Structure formats: structure tokens, C-alpha cells
Amino acid sequence: MTDGAAQSSSRAMPPRRSLFCKYFATLFVAAVVPLILGAAVEASFGYRDQRRQISAVLQADARAASDRIEAFTDGIRDQLGWMVQLPWSAGDDVQHKIDALRLLQQVPAIVSVSLLDETGTERVFVSRLHLNRTGRGIDMSADPAVLGARANKVWYGPVQYQRDSEPYMRIAVAGSLPAAGVAIAEVNLKLIWDVISAIRIGETGYAIVVDDSGHLIAHPDISLVLRGRASSGSFGRIKQLVGAASGAAVITGDQGKPVVALSVHAADVGWTVIAMQPVSEAFASIRAALWRSSILIAFGILIALALAYWRAHRMSGPIKQLEEGVERIRTGQFEHRIKIFSGDELQQLALRFNEMASELAISQQKSARIERLKQFLPSQVAELVEHSHELLEGQRREVAVIFGDLRGFTAFSTRNEPDVIMAVMREYYEAVGTVTTRHEATLIGFDGDGVMLLVNAPVACEQPATQAVRLAIDLQMTVQSIASKWCDAGHAIGFGVGVAMGPATVGTVGYNGRLDYTAMGAVVNLASRLCNLAKDAQILADPTIAGRVRDSIPLASLGQRAIKGYDQALEVFAVAQADLPVKPPGSGPRRREKEPQTH
């Protein structure tokens, strides 16, 4: 019977009309009421989820901006630290002036630099805006920057506005020795605008930076910053309102519109980064969800009015879910699950789909974990985390430690431009990484032009001493092959290696968000000292290594040598020259310039 015939029959037979009303009421309640309740619950949970998501996004962006600002100030602090490494002596003013001028070239944000001796007297002053001067100048011993730097090693001054316009701040760093004096830099904070202007929260969200007094330091609209304190009135209010809230707060922004805001404090400099997003944009998805829910409710009413259409929807609904699930999987939402309980092939298809999504989620999570770990752990250590966590726990193990260090690098770095230095270092690091991977060793880390490698931890090997010496030979030959090209280009750079073996404590150290795998013990210090003694193209080893490899690799005794930190002299061995590259006379340095860092 057709729908039209059924409706005619119901009009002709009143008793059936009552049954039709019952079915109509049942279908209406079954279709519409759950939709209304579901929409209300979804809107409630959706609002809370959106609020948490907005807070997380604002927190992440504000934290990222705070970290970049701290990196900006830390970079200037470190650069100033290099200016006060050595004590002042007669005739040093000209050299200090050259160093200060080089600092102005390297750090565009620095406007001027004052170098003070141990008495607080200005000896050198270089500036982008004023005349440079050298020799004994004014007494700045009572200056707050000098007092603060001497008390805390580093001092960050308050934000000031020159000509009530651009914001400036002074940073002072005291030398590790009192005789090294104090370096004071005046920094133009307008360059922080690059950091803030790069932050985009959604389509129209942005971030600002204010100091403890509520004065504006950085804003995407640079004109507000250039107005100085005249434009900072409303930002103090914003800082106070956001700081008083726990998490994100809905306030009136600096443009007079309601915004969702969250702040992060940069502890070193005492600034506050405030991330904001207009309420209209932040909760746009909630309004869209309510509109979608309203449409679904209306659609449900139409379904209740027509049984045939409802049954057609029963067939299209699961297909729509599958289509939506495929789209979510395509966009990376592997946690999405399809729920179909039709008892037919569509339900079986949904089950298979959910199994596929689970397998993809597991694979994606595992890959993401490994990739995150590879950012701060050696590659092989990161791979092991997924299979054997106990390998990374602290333990006592016999390990072979290899230290390598470039010779002549300090002189090379002072005579060449940064792009030349970085090109050499990239080639050097690539060579070290290739050799380390080839011998399945653990690269503990780079320390400037030095490198530390580990054999027999965390992955054990059968003959760690032999593998360590062969790795050292391969490393020496590889670096020497590229060092010859450096020498041809006029760069006198060499390479020395030290190898030692003994018990050490190995495991992961660090803090939440940053872990490193390392080794600690006397054997690490010994390998570092041997590297310090090694000449260019030379590999020095301790007696333990020599005893383990005597049958496979020839080593020559160099006799007893005094080792720094050891009470008695130690017999030192060198890898036979037949296993090493031949160095032409005068092609590289033979003297160690600096002592590698001990562990």
C-alpha cells in the first residue's frame, strides 16, 4: 500500500487514526526530545571544552612569547658576559672598544655599551646615537645597574621611554672576577615587536607585553608602543584583571571589545605577556554548534512527521557517520569512533573502521613520542624508550668514553666571519654524526668544537674497547679528511681524540620537558684530560683501553704523563701512526687551546 493510500485509509477509518497519532507521538518524542537534550548537553560540554581549549591555546602562545622574550634577553646577557671575562689591564681600552663595536654589529637591539673596570669607572663607551669614548670616564660605582650586577651578577633595569616614545631597558652583567668589571647595555625594546607581531591566535587574536607597572612594551600595533606612556593607561587595567583571574578571563580589551585573555609572567625581566582573542571568534564554534543542533532538531521533527522519510534517514545516518569518520581520520582525529548498532553489514563495517582507527592512533602516538624524544635524546636512545625503559635508568656500567676536540678553533673563530664559522661547524658536526651512527655509539652532546661519545651504554656491545678505538680512528680519519680542505682554504684547524675506559654512572638527567642521557665518573674526566693532551691527528688512550685491544690494534706507549686531577702520573698510549692519516708538516695546529669541560 502506498503512502497516499495509507493516509486515505486512515481518514476513512477513525480507529486507525488514533493508532496513527500514537505512532506519531512516539516518533516525535523519540526523535525530537533526545535531539533537544543532546543539543543542550553538547552545548554545555562544548562550552567547557572550548573554554579549556582556548585557555590551552592562549597559555601556549603566551608561554612561547615569554620564552622567546627570555631568549632575547638571555642572548644579550650572554653576549655581555663575554665582555667581562678577563680582568682589566693597562692598554686594554682599545681592544675592549673593538669588542664592544663588534657586539653592536651582532646585536641590533643594543643601542649603547658601557664597560666599567673594577672600581666602577667607565673605561669604554660605544653608542649608535652618541660619540664613542675611551679612557677613564665618569664614576658609575653608585649606579643602580652596577650595584645590582655586583649583587646578582645580572641586573635588568626598569623600562624607560626616551622622549616618552620608544621603550628602552638597561641590562648589566658583572664578571665572574671582581677585576673583570661590569658591562652595561642599553637595549631598544622596539625589536620585541617582531616577536609579538608574529603571534596569531585564530584569525584576529594577538598578544601584548607590559611591565610590572602596566606600561606597554610590545603590541602588534607598533604605533601604540611609540606613543610611550601616553598609551599605557588601559593596559595596566588589563594586566590587573587578567592577573587576578585563575586561567583565562573574559574582559574588555584595549580596543573596547570583549576578549578572552590569559597572562604568563616572564620572571627574569618582570614582564607579563598577555594573549587575547575576541569572544566573538573564540566561541564561534559554540554558536555554530547551536545552530547545527537547531537544524538537527527541526530535521528530527520532519522525520517524525513522515515515517517513510524517517526510515530513509535510518539508512543514510550510518553512511553519514562513516563519511564523517573518514573525514576525521583524514584530518588526524584518530580517537573518533563510529557507533552503529543496526545489526547488519553497516555495523560490521563500523567495527572494522574503529579497529583501523585504533591501530592508526597507536601508530601515530608511538611515532610522535619517538619524534619528541629525538629532539633531546640520541636517536638510538629514543628508539629504546618504546621497548625498554629500564635501559635509561641510572646504573653503574663499564663504558668507553671518547672525547674529540678541534685544534686552532679559537684563533679560526676570531679571524673569520660567522657564516664561514658556521659552515665549518656544520660540516664538522655532520662528519661526527655520520661516524657515530656507523659505529652505533651514543652521542652525548656537542660542546662548541668538542664532542663526547659513549660506547657500551645504553646499548651493550661485546668488545667495547675495540669498538671505541676503531670509532676513534674512523672519527680522526674522517675529521682529518675535511680538515685538509679547511687547511687548503687557509684555516689552520686540527683534531685530537682521547679514549678511556672504566666504570661510570650512566642514565638520564634533566628536568620535566628536557632530558639528556649522559655518563658521570672518573673515566669521563680521564678521557677529557687525554683529549686535552692529544696533539693534532693523535689518539691517546689509557692503560685499560691499551690492555683490552693489544691483540687487535697496535698502540704505542708514550710513557708516564702527569694528568691534571690525578695524584700520580699515568702511562699514556697512542694509536700507531700507521692507522691514522698522515699530516703534512705545518698543516695544522699542534697545541691544545682550551681545556674541555670535565664531568
Amino acid at 258: P
Q: Averaging pLDDT over each range in 32-36, 38-42, 490-494, which range is the top one? A: 490-494
Do 579 and 549 form a contact (C-beta atoms < 8 A)?
no
CA–CA separation, 490 vs 49, rounded Å? 62
CATH of domain 379-579: 3.30.70.1230
Q: Which three cell numbers stand for residue 90?
A: 693597562
Do 134 and 93 form a contact (C-beta atoms < 8 A)?
yes
The position carrying cell 631597558 is 169
Segment (H or E) for 395: strand 395-407
Q: Can you tell me the mean pLDDT for 177-190? A: 85
Q: Which three cell numbers stand for residue 150?
A: 655586583
The b/e string for 527-566 (b: 16+ C-beta within 10 A; e otherwise) is bbbbbbbbbbbbbbbbebbbebbeeebebeeeeeeebeee
Q: Which three cell numbers stand for residue 455?
A: 660506547
Task: Provide the CATH topology of domain 192-282.
Answer: Beta-Lactamase (3.30.450)
What are the boundaries of each domain within the chain? 192-282, 306-374, 379-579
Per-residue pLDDT band at 596 (split at 50, 70, 90)? very low
Q: Can you tell me the mean pLDDT for 83-99? A: 81
**Cis amide linkage into residue 278, ω under 30° from 0:** no
Per-residue pLDDT band at 6 (split at 50, 70, 90)? very low
Cα end-to-end span (Å), the chain: 90
CA–CA separation, 442 vs 439, rounded Å? 9
- For 177-186, 216-225, 447-456, 518-527, which range has the lowest pLDDT when averaged over its residues? 216-225
Q: Which three cell numbers stand for residue 277?
A: 582573542
Per-residue pLDDT band at 9 (split at 50, 70, 90)? very low
CA–CA separation, 92 vs 1, rounded Å? 108
CA–CA separation, 456 vs 391, rounded Å? 12
Residues linked to residue 114 through DSSP beta bridges, in sequence order:
125, 184
Task: Quickly list DSSP for 185-210.
Answer: EEEEGGGGHHHHHT--BTTTBEEEEE
CA–CA separation, 394 vs 413, rounded Å? 38
- Angle, CA of 442, 555 and 537, to the nearest 5°: 65
Residues 6+ apart with CB under 8 A from 277: 54, 57, 58, 201, 202, 204, 205, 259, 260, 261
Per-residue pLDDT band at 549 (split at 50, 70, 90)? very high
Q: Between 8 and 52, where is the model more confident?
A: 52
Predicted local distance difference test score (pLDDT) of residue 329: 81
Predicted local distance difference test score (pLDDT) of residue 271: 81
Q: Which three cell numbers stand for residue 597?
A: 669541560
Taking the model in full, what pTM does it have? Answer: 0.42
Q: Which three cell numbers stand for residue 445?
A: 652532546
CA–CA separation, 217 vs 250, rounded Å? 22
Amino acid at 595: E
Q: Averaging pLDDT over each range in 74-88, 317-331, 401-415, which range is the top one? A: 401-415
CA–CA separation, 357 vs 359, rounded Å? 5
- For 12-16, 164-168, 313-317, which range has the lowest pLDDT when averaged over its residues? 12-16
Given a cut of 80, whether residue 317 has pLDDT beyond it is: no
Calculate the average pLDDT of the chain: 79
Q: Which three cell numbers stand for residue 251?
A: 574582559
Do 201 and 61 form a contact (C-beta atoms < 8 A)?
yes
| DSSP H helical ranges for 519-573 | 522-533, 543-549
Segment (H or E) for 272: strand 271-278
Q: Can you tell me the mean pLDDT for 226-246? A: 70
Segment (H or E) for 55: helix 14-83
Question: Number of H helices and number of E strands within the chain?
Answer: 17, 20
Predicted local distance difference test score (pLDDT) of residue 579: 55
**Percentage above 70 pLDDT, the chain:** 81
78 φ/ψ angles, rounded to the nearest 5 degrees: -65, -40
Q: Tens of pLDDT along 331-364?
A: 878 787 888 777 777 778 888 888 888 888 777 7
Segment (H or E) for 495: strand 494-511
